[in-house]
Amino acid sequence: MIEVQHLTKRYARITAVEDVTFRVERGEILGFLGPNGAGKTTTMRILTGFMPASEGSAVVAGFDVFDQPLEAKRRTGYLPESPPLYPDMTVREYLDFVARIKGVPARERRARVDGAMERTRVADVRDRHCGKLSKGYRQRVGLAQAILHNPEVLILDEPTAGLDPKQIIETRELIKSMAGDHTIILSTHILPEVSQTCQRVIIINKGRVVAVDSPANLTRRLRGSEMLYVQIDAAGADARSALERLPGVTRVAETDRHDGGVGFEIETSRGHDIRRELARVVVNQGWGLLELRSSGMSLEQIFLHLTTEEKPAEVQHG
Partner 1 sequence: MGNILAIAHKELRAYFASPIAWVILGLFALLFGYFFYAFLVLFVRQSMQMGQMGMGGQTVNVNLYMIRPLLQNATVIMLFVLPMITMRTYSEEKRSGTMELLLTSPVTDLQIIVGKFIGALALYAAMLLVTAIYVSLLFVYGNPEWRPVLTGYLGLLLLGGCFISVGLLVSSMTRNQIVAGMATFGVFLMLWVISWIADFSGPTTRTVVLYLSITEHFDDFAKGIIDTKHLVYYLSFITFGLFLTAKAVDSERWRG
- Nearest distance in Å: CB 58, partner 1: 13
> Does residue 112 bind partner 1 (CB under 8 A)?
no
**Strand 63-64's sheet: what is its strand order?**
15-24, 2-10, 55-60, 63-64
161 binds partner 1 (CB under 8 A): no
- In angstroms, the CA 41 to CA 22 distance is 16
Among 21, 25, 52, 257, binds partner 1 (CB under 8 A): 52
Of the candidates 269, 252, 262, 258, the residue with the CA atom closest to the CA atom of residue 291: 262
- The region of 79-87, 132-140, 167-175, 231-239 touching partner 1 under the rule CB under 8 A is 79-87
Least distance to partner 1, CB of residue 183, Å: 16
Q: Is 45 in the site for partner 1 (CB under 8 A)?
A: yes
One of 26, 64, 66, 97 touching partner 1 (CB under 8 A):
97
Cα distance between residue 16 and residue 39, in whole Å: 5
Minimum distance between the CB of residue 111 and partner 1, rounded to whole angstroms? 18
Residue selected from 13, 36, 70, 314 as contacting partner 1 according to rule CB under 8 A: 70
Given the rule CB under 8 A, which of 25-33, 94-102, 224-232, 304-312 is the region that contacts partner 1? 94-102
Q: What is the CA radius of gyration of the chain?
A: 25
Neighbouring-strand partners of residue 200: 30
Cβ closer to partner 1: 148 or 242?
Answer: 148
Q: Among 25, 37, 51, 67, which residue interacts with partner 1 (rule: CB under 8 A)? A: 51
Residue 47 vs 191, nearer CB to partner 1? 47
Of 86 and 255, CB closest to partner 1: 86
Q: Does position 93 bind partner 1 by CB under 8 A?
A: yes
Q: Which stretch binds partner 1 (CB under 8 A): 84-92, 202-210, 280-288, 304-312?
A: 84-92
Asked if 84 is part of the footprint of partner 1 (rule: CB under 8 A), the reply reads: yes
Instruction: Identify which of residues 49 and 215 has a Cβ nearer to partner 1 in the complex.
Output: 49
Q: Which residues pair with 79 in a beta bridge?
A: 156
Q: Which stretch binds partner 1 (CB under 8 A): 48-56, 193-201, 204-212, 219-227?
A: 48-56
Stretch that binds partner 1, among 67-75, 245-253, 266-274, 283-291 (CB under 8 A): 67-75
187 binds partner 1 (CB under 8 A): no
Residues that bind partner 1 (CB under 8 A): 9, 11-12, 16, 42, 45, 48-52, 70-71, 73-74, 76, 78, 80-89, 93, 97-98, 100-103, 145
